[in-house]
Structure 1
Amino acid sequence: MFHPLRVHAIERLTDDSVAVTLAVPPELRETFRHKPGQHLNVRYAADGEEIRRSYSICSPATDDAADPVVRIGIRLVDGGTFSTYALKELAVGDLIEAMPPTGRFVLIPRAGRFAAIVGGSGITPVLSIAGTLLERKRDATFCLIRSDRTAGSTMFLDEVADLKDRYPDRFQLVTVLSREEQQAGLPSGRLDRDRLDTLLPALLPVTEVDGWFLCGPLGLVRAAEDALRGLGVDRTRVHQEIFHVDDGPAAPARPGPDAPAHSRLTATLDGRSGTWPVQDGDSLLETVLRSRSDAPYACKGGVCGTCRAFLVSGEVRMDRNFALEPEETDAGYVLACQSHPATPEVELDFDR
């Protein structure tokens, strides 16, 4: 369900990004209480079409805010309808419709050593993760390795600097610029697999890190994942969220037999079930949306994971999957926006 939230503040971060603070009414305080690393799905009507987008929450997760707010980071995307609106037209006092926080790229604060490798706007959820962890757990440390094009394009410079000032013994920051030389620190260049193979062991005991958080463009996340695997890090300690996917090969999808000539989908959502025929070429999400406009989705590109559902019975074929961990697909979860029936009968449960 979407709720109207009023824009409390808009802060220009770079030439192409802003932080938008949304005020949360007292009656929705529990509804919008977020875990560090989660995101908001927002919607906007443009030329009669409903546009949905997903934006990560950058504010720390707190239990005692007198005037609860939620803050999201938005970077301009070429041709992006909502990001263009947010940067050029959105004003303080306007209303934005948002769903409650969601997402599984989270770190519940606990003692230990944690690290993140982020690129560009991938800093957004990690800022919430690091800030919440360091504030709540004095026996926790965090190493942030961030990659940006230039200093001028770097989001949340002040917020990250504040973490460094407040927690000098527990927060380690390493910045790499791909298109600009720094006066001090690492030389410029992309954070590719070869560079990470050398850099990571020099920074910290890689296999002793309790949780790695990778966020940003697909290329960076895949390079970091490969480097960590090569350095002996257990896969269960690596968490990832992909922000940008180019038109390249998709991530491994759930295998299944060829599509049947006719198929039916049964889906459960918010305790109510229905059964509908799947039209030729339609995804399971599109099938549900024809009768249930409240079906959860945002990107429809297999990236955000909002449409995650449990496959109760039948088989499906997923076109692409950039959101679900192997443990989730092994347990039977699929992305409805990318799933097509591979058996005559398919049943999904969005409530699990």
Structure 2
Amino acid sequence: MARFHPLRVAAVDRLTDDSVAITFDVPPQLREEYRHAPGQHLALRRIVDGEEIRRTYSICSPAPHSAGPDRLRVGVRFIEGGNFSTYALKELAPGDDVEVMTPAGRFILEPAPGLYAAVVGGSGITPVLSIAATLLAQEPTARFCLLRTDRTAASTMFLDEVADLKDRYPDRFQLATALSREEQQAGLPSGRLDQERLGTLLPALLPVQEVEGWFLCGPYGLVQSAENALRELGVERTRVHQEIFHVDPAPPRPADTVGPEHSTVTAQLDGRSGSWSVQDGETVLETVLRNRSDAPYACKGGVCGTCRAFLVSGDVRMDRNFALEPEETEAGYILACQSHPATEKVEVDFDR
């Protein structure tokens, strides 16, 4: 089960005008709990005016080969009106303590031989930086191709870290950068990476069919365009992995999707089970949280996947899903934060 622990901030490094990298010290007794796979994320928690706020940020540091990490680093980009990102950029300082959840997420790549590729936009570079750095360091025969896009060079996160990968692995790391609002002296022409452009660009960069795994991360529009382009190029769905960092709030649920008048949720969580009545309009997660404050969640927007649970019995309606792979939903997994009971009894298991 994911758990929160207070971690000391070791550094807050300015990356761009609107982003920082936060480094946490991990004490020896917690290093095993914070062992992570490349591509996973951390949920950070703080209390503001009595309200608990959680935000999820991907780990950008390489995954440790064996022992747990002594430090963890995440990237944070400012979002207009964002409570935690404003705090991170304007107030957070070395020496502060932050409540940090143990690593979670399935947007991962365990190092293995072969050719891998990523299409990222903006802060989508964060988990892919960990994936690429870990792969190249731990698997000497692996290769990685990174296609990244941002508005301008000045707004591009982790420029130095990506350049360092290029310097260390010149024969195994390929980098292509497209800027949407700025011309480059060398490299790709400026402009947005839409589906049509990606469909032409990707085969020109690398042998598409030889790529073992594709990792798409960034704004929803970019990820969707890249996924559609790869589908048209004949790439198998199982080789494409995606993670979306931010989506607009979901619209209100239509009246014809309202569930039964009375329903009960039974949940298995950390080895204990309980059953509770669902209040009007509640999701499965909201029902469980009223009775078990340790229920896992981070974004509540269907993006991070922290609240994934196995649907044991009954039926639910998921408002949206940007976190689970099709294979996971077909196997019976749901996002508790997006799932409303569609039957009078619903049973879920957070421990599977």
TM-score bracket for this pair, using the shorter chain length: over 0.9
Label 1:310 to 1:165 Cα distance change in 2 as closer, same or farther (>3 A). same
Give the counterpart letter for 1:61 in structure 2.
Answer: A
Show CA shifts across 1:314-344 (max 9, x none). 0000111111111010000000001000000
Contact 2:35 2:69 in 1 (8 A): no
2:143 aligns with 141
The answer to whether the 8 A contact 2:42-2:101 is kept is: yes
Aligned residue among 39, 42, 59 for 2:41: 39
Task: Report Cα offsets for 1:69-121 as digits up to 9, x if no partner.
Answer: 00000000111101100000001000010111010000000000000000000
The residue aligned with 1:102 is: 104
* C-alpha contact 1:270 1:351 (8 A) present in aligned 2: yes
- For residues 199-258 of structure 1, the C-alpha deviation after alignment (integer angstroms, 9 at most, x for no partner) is 0010111011000000000000000000000000000000000012135789xx9xx986
Counterpart position of 2:322: 322
**What secondary structure does 2:203 align onto?**
helix
Q: Root-mean-square deviation (CA), in Å?
A: 1.7
Q: After superposition, what is the alpha-carbon deviation per residue over 1:265-292, rounded to whole angstroms, capped at 9, x for unaligned?
A: 0001000000000011011100000010
Q: In 1, are the aligned partners of 2:33 and 2:68 still within 8 Å (CA)?
A: no
Q: Tell me if structure 1 keeps the 8 A contact 2:121–2:148.
A: yes
Task: Give the 5 Å matches for 1:174-323.
Answer: 174-246=176-248, 259-323=259-323
TM-score, normalising length from structure 2?
A: 0.96
Q: In percent, how many aligned pairs have the same letter?
A: 74
Gaps (5+ residues) in structure 2?
none
Cα distance in 2 for residues equivalent to 1:83 and 1:330: 35
CA contact (8 A) 2:122 2:150 kept: yes
Q: Secondary structure at the match of 1:45?
A: strand
Give unmatched runs, 5+ long, in structure 1. Answer: none
Determine if contact 2:268/2:349 at 8 Å carries over to the other structure: yes
Report how many residues are paired. 348
Match of 2:8 among 3, 6, 9: 6
Answer whether contact 2:10 2:95 (CA < 8 A) is retained: yes
For each residue in 1:125-145, what CA deviation from the matched residue of structure 2 results, as whole angstroms up to 9, or x when unmatched? 000000000001111000000
Q: Which amino acid aligns with 2:43?
A: N
- Please state how far the C-alpha of 1:67 moved relative to its aligned partner: 7.2
- Check conservation: 1:31, 1:100, Cα contact below 8 A: yes
Q: Is the contact between residue 257 and residue 343 of structure 1 (CA under 8 Å) also seen in structure 2?
A: no
How far off its partner does 1:63 sit? 3.3
Distance 2:158 2:181 in 1: 18
1:91 paired residue number: 93
Taking structure 1 as the reference length, the TM-score comes to 0.96
CA distance in 1, matches of 2:91, 2:259: 45
